[in-house]
Structure 1
Amino acid sequence: MSSLNFYSEPTALNREEHKDLAFTVSNDFSFTSKINSVPVTGIEFFEASRDMPILFSKDEKGNYFPIALLSLMNESHNFLEEDGSWSEAYQPAFIRRYPFVLTDEGTVCFDAKAAHFTAEANESTQTLFDEKGENTKALNNAIQFLNAFNEQHKQTTEFCEQAKQLDIFKPLNIKVNIEKSGPLALNGMFCIDEKKLGELSEEVVIKWFKSGWIAWSYAHLHSIGALKRLLKRQSA
Structure 2
Amino acid sequence: MSKVWRTLRQQAEQFAGWNPVMRWNVEYRVLEHDCFEAALAANLGFSLRHLGGDKLQAWLTALLRSESTIALQSEADIGRFVKYDPSCVDHYVALSSCAGFQALQLYRISHELWLNGEHHNALMLKNWAAQAWGIDIHPGAQIGKGVVIRHGHGLVIDDAVVIEDDVTLWNAVSILRSPAGACKSPVLKKGCTVHAHSVLCGGVTVKKDMILAECTLFTESVADVVN
TM-score by length of 1: 0.26
> Which structure would you say has the larger RCO, counting Cα contacts within 8 Å and 6 or more residues apart?
1
Which is strand-richer, 1 or 2? Answer: 1
